[in-house]
Structure 1
């Protein structure tokens, strides 16, 4: 491992990274996380891997690019993730007013993830900027469906965030969490879904697009939910991407079932993003369809947040009943999202809520990864900084 993290020295170095690079850059973070671990056999194993070569693995899945430091769903963030060894990259898919598919986490997040409010396109937003007043937070709402594709492409991505106490647009846009950075936020190149396909192919990675729930009423100008789900798949078919390289995702089970029925070669790898998040979800009265029923429907992959897969038992992190039930039903599991919580010194927040009593510092992160990989048996983990999962996967010989 090189001591200097080439990709984050200059945005230009990211843009010049060779397609399908065989050498990967992890930077200092994995070694730092290992150094923070309590003494254990796992720490000794991981310490021996610090500085060793890293391979690309499907276990390491890029979540929105590399948004710990780069604006999410931008070319720069995607290239950074690939250079950190991620084997699969995610374009969250939504659509513009002319029904073109683009990469955004939500149809209505342009006001926090781009510079739209500082441009003339702000006047096209569903709701313009309103300063904080009388106890009400500052607000705005700007949708991809407010813009045609050419207008969308004229925007610049920024680090996601907003200052809800702001009195001005400038202050509102300056809301990045203190544990992230603005160092690489000046060159956020937005992408269409088609452009992401071409880029990911050139980087030698696989694809996991997520069909995002529209905030506009559907059908939208004759564009139905089925049309939307089909168009996502059609753009891979048009690009001659083999179905086995694509893992389409949705929180909407009907989308997943649509792919299973109408595009079975893609549907057999469709990922049902699990929205049922009760910490004890195996009660049949509250957990339907069951894991066995999902498997019978043809669902082969399920993806809940980290905490749903974990439980605490006698001071140890162990698989949850949910995780055991999914494995028993023969459903493969993908977890989300690592490196999205900031420092873990106070329990880890939302993503670690089922094991917060055990989470007392950043060194616990790789323990969580180890339980997910070895005890839960997840196939991959989404991460906002794929260097962490790439390091673990390469050290442990995962694919």
Structure 2
């Protein structure tokens, strides 16, 4: 695995030195995108306020969370993507945690995404994939499925990451490597580095960031060769303990409430900041309590403190303006701390915001609505932090608003 000399050296440091590494954060810079979005805002109080902060000195903030690093322009869950996110002021960085055939923890958004996020299909390891490449034919698109659990850690570490994409019209495996969304870029894909979960801990510490690992659902049946769900959830926490990371610096996440409750009950210090992830599902209405799957009072009674809904659950259309949803207000009223995901994942907003903005698509105008939505999430919904594919935008807003 091609890791920088500095990261390799840091990973070998004894645990007590973690605090020293953590005390020297990387410098922060905004780059051009926040100003570009502010320029697009219509005249009004929000634009005027954000304009006053153009000359401010950027600083790191826990309100800004790197979603898989900075995958708007860098291959997700790579060293380079997370370094970029830290340079944009993300105070918290994410490793989506899954496991290999030998039950080692690695950073991938899903256990079964290697065929779209790495070069595995054009390597000799393709023969180990759960389902090899099938070319497009007729109305059937090209397909493949390659899992981290198909490989040992040593094999995983030989792969080269790429922008998450697949050309479903491809008739060759080489063509299948394409399909990158037009609003993303391949300028920064050369020699990017994959990470194990333990390596992500060392890297994030060296960058001065804190940690939000997400325990991903397994694509294989659990237990997997004797490795149970509880083993999986515990191993993720154990790697923070082994690195000497205090529980107060870790926000462990899962879409499975049972994982969150496992941490609450078995690792109570980590459980205090465990995050229950939820997302829009068919039939959900952000304004209609009868459609909500979550019972906020019951979650609090079980020890859940943090709830992380998708953006579409937290936003609503209030007479043609973006506003905090009834769902968001009810969760806050139940004393749940909210985290929102994921800003700037939708690409250009001129034709609506797609899945992430489906509750408000009819009033989304252009990319300036990223800032309008961010303002609503912060000021009206009262979220604790926002995941973004380009953390500089959230960092700028948080710095300007004193968050």
Q: TM-score range by the shorter chain?
A: over 0.9
Q: Equivalents in 2 of 1:21, 1:141: separation in Å? A: 38
For 1:1-399, list aligned pairs within 5 A: 20-21=24-25, 23-275=27-279, 277=281, 278-280=283-285, 286-398=291-403
Query: Structure 2 stretches of 5 or more lacking a match?
Result: 8-20
User: Contact between 1:310 and 1:318, CA under 8 Å: does it hold in 2?
Assistant: yes
Q: Which ranges of 4 or more aligned residues in structure 1 deviate by more than 4 Å?
A: 281-286
Distance 2:390 2:343 in 1: 8
Matches of 1:240 and 1:361 in 2, distance apart? 44
For the residues of structure 1 that align with 2:101 and 2:179, how far apart are their CA atoms?
Answer: 28
Tell me the distance in 1 between the aligned counterparts of 2:293 and 2:311: 20
On the 8 A contact 2:286/2:316 being kept in 1, the answer is: no
The answer as to whether partners of 1:279 and 1:354 remain within 8 angstroms in 2 is no
Partners of 1:283 and 1:27 in 2: how far apart?
A: 40
Give distance in 2, aligned partners of 1:65 and 1:22: 15
Structure 2 CA distance for partners of 1:154 and 1:169, relative to 1, 3 Å = same
Q: Deviations over 1:34-71 (max 9, x none)?
A: 00011111101111212321110010000001100000
Distance 1:218 1:131, change over 3 A: same
Whole-angstrom distance in 1 between the partners of 2:326 and 2:270: 29
TM-score scaled to structure 1, two decimals? Answer: 0.93
The DSSP-based 3-state class of the residue aligned with 1:357 is helix
After superposition, what is the alpha-carbon deviation per residue over 1:96-120, rounded to whole angstroms, capped at 9, x for unaligned?
0000000000000000000111111
Task: Quote the offset at 1:21 in angstroms.
Answer: 3.8
Equivalent pairs counted in the alignment come to 385
Contact 1:92 1:103 in 2 (8 A): yes
For residue 22 of structure 1, report the CA deviation from its aligned partner: 5.2
* RMSD, aligned α-carbons: 1.8
Q: Report the Cα distance in structure 2 between the residues aligned to 1:187 and 1:106, rounded to whole angstroms.
A: 21
Cα distance, 1:74 vs. partner? 0.3
> Equivalent residue of 2:31, what SS?
coil
1:240-274 CA-to-partner distances (Å, cap 9, x unmatched) read 10000000000000000000000000001000001
Native 8 Å contact 2:286 2:325 kept in 1: no
Give me the whole-angstrom Cα distance separating, in 2, the residues matched to 1:311 and 1:373. 14
**CA distance in structure 2 between the aligned counterparts of 1:148 and 1:199, rounded to whole angstroms:** 22
Deviation at residue 287 of structure 1 after TM alignment? 3.3
1:280 shift after superposition: 2.2
The 1:23–1:33 alpha-carbon spacing in structure 2 relative to 1, beyond 3 Å, is same
Distance, in Å, in 1 between the alignment partners of 2:286 and 2:347 is 27
Deviates more, 1:80-89 or 1:314-323: 314-323
CA drift of 1:194 comes to 0.3
Structure 1: runs of 5 or more not aligned: 1-10
Any idea what SS the aligned residue of 2:226 has? Answer: coil
